[in-house]
Homo-oligomer: A and B are copies of this chain.
Amino acid sequence: MNVGRRVDYAVRALSYLAGQPAGKVVSRADIEKSQDIPSFYLSKIMKDLVAGGLVQSHIGSKGGFTLARGASTISIKDVYETVERPLVLMECLEQGINYCSYCAVCSQKSVWEEAQLVLANFLAGVSVAEIADRQGLKGRLLQRAV
């Protein structure tokens, strides 16, 4: 029942991109340094973000990444579902009878269904733009140290 580092890293990366001047292409190495994300791991996450249509990639020298959509149109729910999987609180809600044969007569199923809805609605209402950040975590940390 908890959100792992993949999502954390993805949000960091996206919010960093969102904080850049329009059209600025940012390399993976840049993101990785400013947000302190394990480099090869970030590489896999960016791949997912590209595949999910949240980020646009630019191969080759001077290549890197830009947001594929406006930061205010990318919700945290989008991010979660892009790098992880559909937001599902209990497997039976997704797999139905394949997960639990008592699905049809289960009296707690609706509870999780509603809880899931409540959570999903909340996360759908928060956008990357609201977390956007020009400096990155490391930058903020340095500035604070001054």
Instruction: Report A's interface with B, CB cutoff 8 A.
Output: 1-3, 8, 11-12, 15, 36, 76, 80, 84, 87-92, 100, 102, 104-108, 111-112, 114-115, 118-119, 122-123, 126, 130-131, 133, 137-138, 140-141, 144
Determine if B123 and A115 form an interchain contact, defined as CB atoms under 8 angstroms apart: yes
Main secondary structure of the interface of A (DSSP, over half): helix
The oligomer's copy count stands at 2
User: Given A114-B122, A115-B123, 4 other A-B contacts at CB below 8 A?
Assistant: A1-B84, A1-B88, A106-B137, A111-B131
Q: Measured between alpha carbons, how far is A107 from B11 in the docked complex, in Å?
A: 10
Given A115-B123, A123-B115, decide whether A88 and B137 contact each other with a Cβ distance below 8 A: no
B residues in contact with A133, CB < 8 Å: 107
B1 touches A80 (CB 8 A): yes
Which residues of chain B come closer than 8 Å to A144, judged between CB atoms? 104-105
Q: How far is the CA of A77 from the CA of B3 in the complex (A)?
A: 18
Alpha-carbon distance between A89 and B104 when the two chains are bound, in angstroms = 29
Complex: how many Å from CA A128 to CA B19? 46
Task: Provide a sorted-by-A list of 20 A–B residue pairs whose CB atoms are within 8 angstroms.
Answer: A1-B87, A1-B89, A2-B89, A3-B90, A8-B92, A8-B100, A8-B108, A12-B108, A15-B107, A36-B102, A104-B141, A104-B144, A105-B137, A105-B144, A106-B137, A111-B130, A114-B122, A115-B123, A118-B119, A118-B122
Partner of A15, one of B2, B15, B92, B108: B108
